[in-house]
Amino acid sequence: MSFESDIVKIVGKNNFSSDIADLLSYSRDSSPIRGYLPDCVVLPRTAFEVSEVLKLANKEGKKVVPRGGGTSPCGASIPLSDGCVIIDSVRLKGIQFNEEDMTASIKAGTTWAELIRYLKKFDVKPMFVGPHSGYSATIGGGCASSAIGYGSAKHGQIGDSIVTLEVVLPSGEIIYTGSAANPNAGKFGRYCNGPDLAGLFIGSHGIYGFITEVTLKVEPIPTYVDYFTFGFNHIKNSIDFIRELQKKTIPEHAVIYFDKNTIHKFGAEGSKSLVSIVIEEEDAEIGEAKSKLVEKLSKKYDAFYHNKCVSQSLWTKNLFDSIPSSGREGIWVQSCHRIPLSRLELSINKAFRFFNNKMKKYNLKIPLCMSATVVSGQNSNFVSTFLFKENDQNLNNKIFKIWDQWIDIILRENGGCPYWIGYKWTINLYKYLRKSYFDILWKLKKILDPNYIMYPNMILLRKD
Ligand SMILES: Cc1cc2nc3c(=O)[nH]c(=O)nc-3n(C[C@H](O)[C@H](O)[C@H](O)COP(=O)(O)OP(=O)(O)OC[C@H]3O[C@@H](n4cnc5c(N)ncnc54)[C@H](O)[C@@H]3O)c2cc1C
């Protein structure tokens, strides 16, 4: 029996492909990085099928790459070596809403847009609402890459909403984290029954196992919602405004935009930075008090441009569409990373200097966008994105050089930390993270994945 016919036995022939057109598309994600061609693609429907595929891959010594929506902008769901099998989560669909415990158990291949649409029927929503790629990105992919996005000012990253996980280990064993470790308990608590095992898989990019189900906290759709967009003459003022706001009253969502393109797009000419805020409350009186505080603080920091429409459209009809729609102008080169608000101004000034120098040096005329999404407390996700047409090899080479240099500055000088990682960050993290950190990741890898089948060369670069 061949590996192929054994796999077909598990998932059925319609859920297996070694067609060259399919393999080519799975060698790419939404980054400009080209991966190796996989050997085949498998689409299991249940955790049991994932488990059977992994057992077989172990037996045959096949490498496995987990794939969600393939929206990684950094080469994170493509084979980084040859001979790989892609396990695509697209058929792992389904949501179970638990009204009493206010949780939803979601199969890994469900997209954020599907989740929101489903929960709306019950008048609830996820606390962390999803990344900007939520039309295509999956809950499993978000968990494996620690997604940040809509709702992060109050609710942080996806991990902060995670209650329990169902994961298939590289050996094929299916495990449950938190309260779900006790079959008599249910899925209601993350930090119980001993150490937090969910944390091992959040942000792991699949190196320790394939996530098949994520249980998230949900909340009622609030009755009070208010929107603000403020323009500032000084970047410092906008950051100080957000810092004080985060201390005094937590908005649901807050983003600062720094680049001329976005400021122009939002019609806020003359501003050096633009802040978009969403306030949500179940109780209108509390909501109104919060809105008043936002207005008061905006005056204290000399906000001069006021508009409700921009943040309203980003939060409602353009949810999940504001960034993907800009992709029509070219492919993104992004460098999202965590940085505390206390170091954001320095990082932005450095980014302006760096990118302006490079644009001049290489005579580049490509759009550059810069923003920071506020992440619970005094944290942020700073992203610089530039868009370029991929069909010019000469331009590609220059862009890749700039990308590497900027990532190096983030890690070496700014002390920034990536959360979605992929190939680009993997090769750079090795230069800067403590050896003891990688040592422990390797020890865990050897225990959980002794045959080194799960996503080789992702986060853990093999030295032999
Ligand atoms: C336009 C655009 C906007 C974006 N905006 C944001 C944003 O606001 N916030 C943000 O955080 N990211 C953003 N991203 C990056 C990306 O969309 C997110 O990282 C997203 O969460 C990835 O989900 P995915 O389903 O596409 O996963 P993939 O890209 O398919 O995979 C991501 C990683 O997770 C692993 N993986 C996938 N599924 C599983 C699974 N079931 N089990 C184990 N491992 C798995 C993959 O191997 C890979 O390493 C954006 C990307 C684009 C293109």
| Rounded distance from Cα 390 to ligand 1 centre (Å) | 21
Tokens for 284, please give them: 């209108």
Following DSSP, what letter does each residue of 97-165 receive, concatenated?
EETTTTEEEEETT-BHHHHHHHHHTTTEEESS-B-TTTTT-BHHHHHHTT---BTHHHH-SGGGGEEEE
Tell me, in angstroms, the distance from the centre of ligand 1 to residue 367's CA: 23
CB-based contacts of 320: which residues, under 8 Å, 6+ apart?
A: 112, 113, 130, 132, 133, 134, 135
Rounded to the nearest integer, the mean pLDDT of the chain is 95
Q: Which residue has the higher pLDDT, 326 or 187?
A: 187
pTM of the model: 0.97
Q: Which domains are present in the chain?
A: 93-220 (3.30.465.10), 224-315 (3.30.70.3450), 324-429 (3.30.300.330)
pLDDT at 368: 87
Is the predicted pLDDT of residue 332 greater than 90, yes or no?
A: no
Q: What is the pLDDT of residues 188-202, one digit of tens each?
A: 999 999 999 999 999
Q: Which residue has the higher pLDDT, 378 or 386?
A: 378
pLDDT (0 to 100) of residue 39: 98
**Region of residue 278 (phi > 0: left; psi between -120 and 50: alpha; otherwise: beta):** beta
Long-range contacts of 130-136 (CB under 8 A, 24+ apart): 130/320, 131/71, 132/320, 132/322, 132/323, 132/324, 133/30, 133/69, 133/71, 133/320, 133/323, 133/324, 134/319, 134/320, 135/111, 135/320, 135/321, 135/324, 136/69, 136/70, 136/71, 136/111
Residues belonging to the chain:
464
What pLDDT shows up at residue 24?
98
Cα distances (Å, whole numbers) of residue 385 to 110, 123, 152, 157, 258: 27, 35, 19, 20, 12
Check: CB of residue 75 under 8 Å from CB of residue 424: yes
Q: Separation of 236 CA from ligand 1 center, angstroms?
A: 31
Model confidence at 121: pLDDT above 80: yes
User: Can you tell me the mean pLDDT for 65-78?
Assistant: 96
Contacts of 461 (CB under 8 A, 6+ apart): 426, 427, 430
pLDDT at 226 over 60: yes
Q: Is it the case that residue 16 has pLDDT exceeding 80?
A: yes
Q: How confident is the model at residue 227 (pLDDT cuts 50, 70, 90)?
A: very high
Residue 322: the pLDDT is 80
Confidence of residue 75 (pLDDT cuts 50, 70, 90): very high
Q: Kindly give the distance from the C-alpha atom of residue 409 to the centroid of ligand 1, in angstroms, as a whole number.
A: 24
Q: Using the predicted structure, report yes or no on whether residue 36 has a pLDDT greater than 80.
A: yes
In the chain the first and final C-alpha atoms are separated, in Å, by: 32
Query: pLDDT at position 195, please?
Result: 98
The Cα-based distances of 341 to 27, 86, 100, 262, 311 in angstroms read: 36, 38, 37, 21, 21
Q: Which residue has the higher pLDDT, 21 or 333?
A: 21
Instruction: Return the SS3 of 288.
Output: helix
Residue 464 has pLDDT above 70, yes or no: no
Cβ < 6 Å from ligand 1: which residues? 29-30, 65-73, 76-77, 89, 108, 131-133, 137-138, 140-142, 144-145, 147-149, 205-206, 210-211, 323-324, 420, 455, 458
Type of residue at 192: C
Averaged pLDDT, 67-95: 97
**pLDDT tens digit sequence for 261-318:** 888 888 888 899 999 999 999 999 999 999 999 999 999 999 987 888 889 999 998 8
Check residue 463 and give its pLDDT: 59
Structure tokens, 112 = 């954020």
- Atom of ligand 1 at shortest range from CA of 326: 1
pLDDT at 34 over 70: yes
Q: Which long-range contacts (CB under 8 A, 24 or more apart) does 445-450 make?
A: 445/207, 445/208, 448/169, 448/170, 448/171, 448/208, 448/209, 449/169, 449/170, 449/171, 449/207, 449/208
**Model confidence over 246-260: pLDDT tens digits?**
999 889 999 999 998
d(CA 191, CA 459): 26
Pocket test for ligand 1, best of 133, 168, 212, 325 (most atoms within 8 A of CB): 133
Q: What is the pLDDT of residue 27?
A: 98
Q: Check residue 353 and give its pLDDT.
A: 96
User: Hey, whose CA ends up nearest to atom 15 of ligand 1?
Assistant: 72
Say if residues 378 and 243 touch (Cβ distance below 8 Å).
yes
pLDDT digits (tens, 9 = 90+) for 408-440: 999 999 999 999 999 999 999 999 999 999 999
Q: Report the SS3 class of residue 199.
A: helix
Q: 388 pLDDT band (50/70/90 cuts)?
A: confident
